[in-house]
């Protein structure tokens, strides 16, 4: 089904671009479309920043699901966020934009005379509505992914073993490359308001914590077999406290509350459980002001990595080539089994999923590599 969308998307892009009406034009109204999930959106930041840098005077609108909106509070990346909860990507089928609201949304966009549409991740409706808007130019994921697939097939037929870079960040770069003179990696994506900084100070004071002197763990994930054992996170929390005098904040969504309680109940002097108790935006504030984050393959892992926080990623069934955390202060751990890459529908080893093959001892060594370079031990 996904490759059918890619084919349709590529064809729509061809129809829009066929007359090269964009030649010599300056894009003043740009629509970015990314309808999937939080972690995927974070991996789009560098491409979005390059669009912003290249078209400084443009009015940039983002069309996305409501679950991504908090990422763009105070963000310089876009001027406006419009919510479209796609039935393809919404994890809660009760949270879906109705056909009536969707039609109204795209009618408004047509009135705004969009010059450029960038389809980072579309569904069928947004693809065809791009044709309805009929911008000067469209670039899209489908065209790039089809090119990659054709290259893979040719490599196979010619018995070549050349590795084709397919990380999501690279895919997003390729989508916008025709629009950018010189692609750069900026890396400063999270802007906090004075009110948010005051909230942080109050939170830390009320929980006997200090800025930059606490750790983050995220023991949840979208699929249970991507979740490292709660007992392993308890071991890591003890290690952080005993070795570096760091307390640990546990974050996550409401449906992960039980895991947070299990970990905190082990030692309330070490763990501060905020799972399901704070908003996504407040979780982001805590992540970007932490000294280290230990996370399952999830959006907090990517947020920490893109915010240049020392990040330990616990990878399991997710595709490493496409979705491993990226950044200058990142370590991730993964044990490759014969069933990798996994379709994430059922697990072949439910009693010992691949994520649990990563050992606490390995993670402790990774933490040491980051924190032994700091003065945390000296300040104990």
The answer to the question of residue 329 being in a domain is yes
* 301 neighbors 218 (Cβ within 8 angstroms): yes
**Counts for the chain of helices (H) and strands (E), in that order:** 14, 11
Q: Looking at the predicted structure, is the pLDDT value of residue 86 above 60?
A: yes
Classify 47 as helix, strand or coil: helix
Which residue's structure tokens are 């740009």?
30
Instruction: Clarify whether residues 57 and 175 are in a common domain.
Output: yes
Q: In whole angstroms, give the CA distance from residue 336 to residue 355.
A: 10
Q: In whole angstroms, give the CA distance from residue 171 to residue 146.
A: 11
CB atoms within 10 A of CB 336: 11
- Residue-wise pLDDT for 195-231, tens only, equals 999 999 999 999 999 998 999 999 999 999 999 999 9
Pick from 150, 158, 208, 203: nearest CA to 7: 150
SS3 content of the chain, % helix, strand, coil (to 5): 45, 15, 40
The answer to the question of residue 192 being in a domain is no
Domain final residue, candidates 126, 145, 179: 179
Percentage of the chain exceeding pLDDT 70: 96
Instruction: Clarify whether residues 326 and 217 are in a common domain.
Output: yes
CB atoms within 10 A of CB 29: 19
| pLDDT at 3 (0 to 100) | 86
Classify 276 as helix, strand or coil: coil
Instruction: Clarify whether residues 239 and 318 are in a common domain.
Output: yes
Instruction: Clarify whether residues 161 and 203 are in a common domain.
Output: no
The answer to the question of residue 380 being in a domain is no
Long-range CB pairs of 340-344, under 8 A, 24+ apart, other chains included: 341/317, 342/316, 342/317, 342/318, 344/223, 344/225, 344/226, 344/317, 344/318
The answer to the question of residue 185 being in a domain is no
| pLDDT at 375 (0 to 100) | 73
- Residue-wise pLDDT for 298-307, tens only, equals 999 999 999 9
Classify 67 as helix, strand or coil: helix
Q: In whole angstroms, give the CA distance from residue 62 to residue 34.
A: 8
Q: In whole angstroms, give the CA distance from residue 354 to residue 356.
A: 5
Q: Region 72-86: what's the mean pLDDT?
A: 96
Instruction: Clarify whether residues 303 and 357 are in a common domain.
Output: yes
Domain final residue, candidates 146, 179, 212: 179
Instruction: Indicate the average pLDDT of the chain.
Output: 93
Domain housing 145: 2-179
CB atoms within 10 A of CB 184: 11
| pLDDT at 64 (0 to 100) | 98
- Residue-wise pLDDT for 123-155, tens only, equals 999 999 999 999 999 999 999 999 988 888 887
Q: How many domains does the chain have?
A: 2
Instruction: Clarify whether residues 20 and 94 are in a common domain.
Output: yes
Instruction: Clarify whether residues 166 and 247 are in a common domain.
Output: no
Pick from 100, 109, 99: nearest CA to 130: 109
Pick from 132, 78, 135: nearest CA to 106: 132
Instruction: Clarify whether residues 98 and 137 are in a common domain.
Output: yes
| pLDDT at 24 (0 to 100) | 55
| pLDDT at 263 (0 to 100) | 97
Instruction: Clarify whether residues 162 and 264 are in a common domain.
Output: no
**pTM for this one?**
0.93
Instruction: Clarify whether residues 208 and 166 are in a common domain.
Output: no
Q: Region 324-330: what's the mean pLDDT?
A: 93
Q: Looking at the predicted structure, is the pLDDT value of residue 311 above 80?
A: yes
End-to-end CA distance of the chain: 55
pLDDT classification of 20: cutoffs 50, 70, 90: low
Q: In whole angstroms, give the CA distance from residue 334 to residue 296.
A: 11
Q: In whole angstroms, give the CA distance from residue 311 to residue 291.
A: 9
Q: Region 249-257: what's the mean pLDDT?
A: 95
């Amino acid at each position: 089904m996904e490759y059918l969308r890619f084919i349709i998307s590529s064809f729509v892009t061809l129809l829009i671009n066929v007359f090269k009406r964009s030649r010599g034009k300056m894009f003043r109204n740009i629509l970015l479309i990314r309808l999937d999930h939080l972690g995927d959106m974070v991996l789009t930041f560098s491409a979005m920043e390059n669009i912003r840098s290249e078209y400084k005077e443009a009015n940039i609108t983002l069309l996305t699901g409501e679950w991504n909106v908090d990422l763009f509070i105070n963000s310089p990346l876009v001027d406006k966020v419009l919510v479209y909860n796609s039935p393809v990507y919404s994890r809660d089928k009760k949270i879906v934009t109705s056909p009536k609201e969707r039609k109204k949304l795209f009618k408004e966009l047509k009135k705004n005379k969009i010059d450029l549409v960038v389809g980072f991740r579309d569904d069928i409706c947004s693809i065809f509505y791009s044709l309805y808007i009929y911008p000067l130019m469209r670039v899209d994921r489908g065209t790039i992914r089809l090119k990659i697939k054709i290259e893979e097939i040719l490599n196979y037929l010619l018995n070549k073993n050349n590795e084709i870079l397919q990380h999501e960040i690279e895919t997003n770069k390729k989508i916008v490359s025709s629009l950018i003179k010189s692609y750069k990696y900026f890396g400063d994506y999270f802007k906090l308001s004075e009110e948010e900084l005051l909230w942080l100070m109050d939170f830390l004071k009320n929980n006997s914590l200090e800025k930059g002197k606490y750790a983050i763990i995220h023991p949840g994930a979208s699929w249970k077999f991507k979740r490292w054992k709660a007992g392993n996170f308890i071991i890591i929390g003890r290690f952080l406290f005993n070795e570096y005098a760091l307390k640990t904040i546990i974050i996550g969504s409401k449906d992960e509350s039980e895991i947070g309680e299990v970990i905190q109940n082990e030692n309330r002097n070490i763990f501060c459980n905020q799972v399901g108790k704070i908003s996504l935006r407040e979780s982001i504030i805590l992540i970007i002001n932490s000294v280290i984050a230990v996370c399952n393959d999830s959006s907090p892992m990517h947020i920490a990595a893109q915010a240049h926080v020392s990040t330990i990623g616990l990878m399991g069934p997710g595709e490493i080539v496409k979705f491993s955390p990226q950044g200058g202060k990142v370590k991730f751990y993964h044990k490759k089994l014969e069933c990798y890459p996994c379709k994430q529908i059922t697990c072949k080893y439910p009693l010992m999923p691949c994520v649990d093959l990563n050992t606490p001892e390995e993670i402790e060594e990774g933490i040491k590599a980051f924190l032994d370079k700091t003065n945390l031990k000296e300040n104990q």
